[in-house]
């Protein structure tokens, strides 16, 4: 028995033979010979293990080719790759949140492929600061006196709390003591920053007098946090920004807001209600506000701190700022995005354009896609249906967006779940929604050019 096993292991083709095969050449060119060797070593070890445990495996070169080719193909493909979002969730955190606009992509390409004045003041011929390139335009679109950018909004909140309130008390309503997801929990961030959280009010109701009563000698800040993916309805109340601001300023405190999503236009421009835009928050007396660049703003991942000049200036020299600093590609994309806001070219920003899509355009796209899919779906039932889309990214959770979609059911290949898993495995993976027994493609988040890829995927099925 042992002899037989030893004999079989000996017949496994050697590394030299494998590496000479024509079907390994592309992988060797793409990944390098050493990586391919390492992959084969791992696969051959598994094979030997199987043989030793008594399995009857085929170790011929032809049989090895079948398995190893699949492994190599998977490795040659980039791990991070584009996919199609047919979920109707516009700011889908798992799918990379916002797509960049064309001008933003062009700006990234030109700055990334050349030297730039990232930290150089061309007028005076001396060292400059990377933040200077966007401060003026950010102030123009938000109405803030000064601004600063860091790696993301979590970093912005952390920087502000640790710089402005380390060792002192920050007052926050219990109704805003939230977890945003991805382990960003307000109490934890507060603890990490060294600020002391003082909770006031109740989950559903907090009054101005609750804030007033909590202010003590060691209080430095009143904080407001956007509850993001969470909404309370019914018997609820919280004081207005203007009231909290008056109280803070009477007592010599800072009023800070973590706005989460960076809404730079009035909500009505996007057909949304109940969201306060950044300029409005600042106008109502917020001293310093932080928000993300890649949520409702529709730009790259970045965190903005905007507000009173004296406060923003006090953050500039902090060592932690260096650890949170923004890359040149991000700055380029962000500047280009902000310029689109200055021009009010909202429909050039994909996130805003998807939120602003008209009923007719989505209905027409759903009808077009359905007609194409009927031809390649093996007699499945393909229907145009009304769907509920979502803003995502923690904005307007209670406010579904009315959209249109294509429902596919009764596919000869099997259930909607099975179909969904096949579409996820497509060369450009496609993520769909589902309803009852049907697979649903929401068209709000699909570009016209995505339709061809979807039709191809259904054709290959």
Which residues in this chain contact ligand PLP in the complex, by CB under 6 A? 152-154, 157, 180, 184, 225-226, 228, 258, 260-261, 292, 303, 394
Return the number of the residue (85 or 152) whose C-beta is nearest ligand PLP. Answer: 152
Return the number of the residue (282 or 366) whose C-beta is nearest ligand PLP. Answer: 282
CB of 316 to ligand PLP, least distance (A): 20
Phi then psi for residue 220, to 5 deg, are: -115, -20
Strand 169-173 relative to strand 219-225, pairing: parallel
Return the number of the residue (225 or 244) whose C-beta is nearest ligand PLP. Answer: 225
The residue to which tokens 């007033």 are assigned:
212
Return the number of the residue (253 or 304) whose C-beta is nearest ligand PLP. Answer: 304
Q: What is the dihedral of CA 25, 26, 32, 37, to 10 degrees?
A: -50
CB of 112 to ligand PLP, least distance (A): 22
- Side-chain half-sphere CA neighbours of 89 within 13 A: 19
CB of 309 to ligand PLP, least distance (A): 23
CB of 84 to ligand PLP, least distance (A): 23
CB of 93 to ligand PLP, least distance (A): 8
Cβ-proximal residues to 319 (8 Å cutoff; 6+ apart), any chain? none
8 Å CB contact between 308 and 288: yes
Q: Which helix (H) or strand (E) holds 305?
A: strand 303-307
Strand 430-435 relative to strand 438-442, pairing: antiparallel
Residue 406's closest CA among 361, 360, 374? 374
Return the number of the residue (256 or 370) whose C-beta is nearest ligand PLP. Answer: 256
Cβ-proximal residues to 10 (8 Å cutoff; 6+ apart), any chain? none
C-alpha separations of 112 from 132, 157, 293 in Å: 18, 28, 19
CB of 337 to ligand PLP, least distance (A): 15
Return the number of the residue (263 or 406) whose C-beta is nearest ligand PLP. Answer: 263
Return the number of the residue (153 or 337) whose C-beta is nearest ligand PLP. Answer: 153
Residue nearest to ligand PLP as judged by C-beta position: 260
CB of 102 to ligand PLP, least distance (A): 23
CB of 150 to ligand PLP, least distance (A): 9
CA angle 359, 363, 366 (to 5 degrees): 140
Return the number of the residue (220 or 395) whose C-beta is nearest ligand PLP. Answer: 395
| 99 backbone φψ class: left, alpha, beta (φ>0; ψ -120 to 50) | beta
């Amino acid at each position: 028995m042992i002899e037989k096993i030893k004999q079989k292991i000996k017949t496994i083709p050697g590394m030299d033979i494998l590496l000479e095969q024509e079907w390994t050449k592309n992988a060797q060119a793409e990944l390098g010979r050493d990586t391919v060797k390492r992959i084969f070593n791992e696969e051959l070890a598994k094979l030997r293990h199987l043989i030793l445990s008594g399995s009857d495996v085929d170790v011929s070169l032809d049989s090895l080719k079948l398995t190893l080719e699949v492994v190599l193909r998977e490795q040659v493909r980039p791990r991070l790759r584009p996919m199609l979002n047919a979920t109707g969730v516009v700011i889908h955190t798992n799918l990379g949140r916002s797509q960049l606009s064309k001008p933003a992509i062009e700006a990234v390409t030109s700055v990334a492929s050349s030297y730039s004045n990232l930290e150089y003041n061309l007028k005076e011929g001396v060292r400059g600061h990377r933040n200077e390139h966007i401060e003026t335009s950010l102030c123009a679109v938000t109405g803030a006196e000064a601004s600063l950018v860091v790696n993301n909004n979590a970093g912005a909140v952390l920087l502000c709390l640790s710089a402005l309130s380390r060792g002192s008390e920050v007052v926050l309503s219990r109704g805003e003591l939230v977890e945003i997801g991805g382990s960003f929990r307000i109490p934890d961030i507060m603890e990490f920053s060294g600020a002391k959280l003082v909770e006031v009010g109740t989950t559903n109701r907090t009054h101005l007098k609750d804030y007033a009563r909590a202010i003590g000698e060691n209080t430095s800040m009143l904080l407001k946090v956007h509850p993001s993916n969470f909404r309370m309805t019914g018997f609820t109340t919280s004081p207005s920004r203007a009231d909290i601001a008056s109280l803070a300023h009477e007592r010599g405190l800072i009023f800070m807001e973590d706005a989460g999503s960076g809404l730079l236009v009035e909500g009505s421009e996007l057909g949304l209600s109940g969201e306060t835009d950044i300029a409005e928050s600042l106008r109502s007396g917020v001293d310093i506000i932080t928000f993300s660049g890649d949520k409702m703003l529709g730009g790259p991942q970045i965190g903005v701190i905007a507000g009173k000049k004296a406060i923003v200036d006090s953050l500039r020299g902090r060592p932690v700022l260096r650890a949170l600093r923004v890359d040149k590609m991000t700055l380029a994309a962000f500047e280009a995005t902000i310029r689109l806001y200055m021009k009010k070219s909202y429909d050039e920003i994909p996130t805003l354009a998807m939120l602003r899509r008209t009923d007719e355009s989505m209905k027409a796209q759903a009808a077009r896609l359905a007609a194409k899919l009927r031809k390649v779906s093996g007699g499945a039932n393909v229907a145009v249906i009304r769907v509920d889309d979502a803003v995502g990214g923690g904005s307007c959770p209670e406010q579904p967006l009315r959209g249109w979609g294509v429902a596919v059911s009764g596919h000869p290949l099997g259930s909607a779940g099975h179909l969904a898993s096949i579409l996820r495995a497509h060369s450009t993976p496609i993520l769909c929604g589902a309803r009852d027994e049907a697979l649903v493609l929401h068209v709000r988040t699909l570009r016209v050019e995505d339709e061809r890829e979807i039709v191809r995927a259904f054709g290959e099925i």
